[in-house]
Structure 1
């Protein structure tokens, strides 16, 4: 029986995806239990998640031994792809019943390729073929170089999770990249109804960076703005979503079977303990959205979230006022979102390098 709070969230049009995956979750039945009891209908992964997962050598001992004659990169690809494929199989029923919107499992291209278009496209295709499941989503970062990669991957009929979006301008570019990809796919005669995408808009990291600067300002006026930027930014992203997919351009594609690219709220774990643990859940409820949660946030949602229906409708003027007030405090929005993108790529690269190092040690131990 599902939890009433997570059920209310689902009823309000929010798809709950777990921001975690490991072989232990799959073999222990932990993930299946979350599907049954807490309305989880998808999974996202990233290099940091796999680094944490693969650090548990006892769970992956046999799998690592099977890869002992392969390169470190190939071993990681094989093991993580197997986990993703198994999760895709677990979600197959949800994928089919939701007509492809949910039941999705994401796997990310090597973050070291974030600023290289052609290699990203090549690896996106390779990962899709390796996982070999229709309900996999290939994660591509929303760097400038990633935009063309998003377009070309979609044009091949491969569904994409666009990650590391922080700015409204970049979000518009991501939507445009998706639409161009759909137009190319349509010109090739591909079935657009089979192509899906989500746009992962990061939330808590915006507050973390802006709150730090507000604290440095040190005035009461600045302090009053703490914890407001992330939600305001995400709500304005939803406005961009609504406007973009109500356009005449998308209507043509929709008539050919195309799906909207849903906004996905990422980085929804609260970093500041002074804030409600479900801040980035309850304040971002709206139809056709995805909220990808670490388990701690999912548990808090199940235990204490008050879901009051659509929390974004009618909020755009207030959200714009928040950004205006921040600008009046000398907070440079563009500088911050650009910094967060750079830091986001760097963090994933660090996690990837840790994963490479851990796997290298594990493979040597298996020989």
Structure 2
């Protein structure tokens, strides 16, 4: 790690080759991921004629292994080299995704295979995200975390612009299974870039006890729920995950079947969110330097709740329905990026390096567990009372989630900024 004597200038991350490699790896992965995110539900909905319940099961089962294993994965990551974990996760995701175009070529693809692929990809995406959250402070300084996370959020925004639009066209042209081939290749390139990072990781802090994943998992749980900042923030993220997971199994089905939007047009609508996210990434860094993080988190989340209501409001002629979805994408993603970027920086700032894996694992356990329940429930309920009502419940739940943030200390910036 660099010391304060070698602190880089304001544009220093552009001159940090290891961060640029990490950034490049995530850029490739983020664009490719959009092909799978759009492709799997379309395979299920259009090729295999899946119902809302089927899509709910698809999302729920894909999340289950990650939810069950996330606390132990966090403890394991705190005791291993995180870059190796990132590379392993990339290679395994690439391998399992390659099975889809192969089986499609043989005309043997099934809903069981789609669920299996989604499960393995989701599991190792959880592993990657947990390790990545812990690894970033290795390649940047503490006072560069906001800039680093903002740049990574910019990557997601650019991927949201290019990825869904390209995915929609590729899915219509090549069919979804073959379009997903791009995602597999993106993971391979990501692994190559990660392997080229040269900066060594700091020595592992193993503590005085022999490795014990159960004990270390309990330590992570006690740390998160005993911390005055992490406790309300984690509960907010968990509640958000529950209500936003109403959208995960239903959004594509709602747009394609209920609103009559073709995959190509839907890809371009989703891409508008990338433009919003790009602005949100710039806004996140700007606001984070000028306003209280408590005010940013509460304000961004409330505004996001207003904008996401345009999704269940969408109806009528195609241009009106598409316009409502465009509004939700064009403003919602930017507000979400501003919220999540500052929330991530706050989590990284207040968590010691030796606990970052476990902290991330606990967050994933709660967000993934509640998200799994919500996705499964949403698909089942939507088949009985309609998709739109379920989406309304999810949108209104965003407002309820913001109430946890009122418990954040009012002086959180002064106490935990590290200045």
TM-score (norm 1): 0.29
Q: Return the structure number with greater strand share.
A: 1
> Higher relative CO (CA 8 A, sep ≥ 6), structure 1 or 2?
2
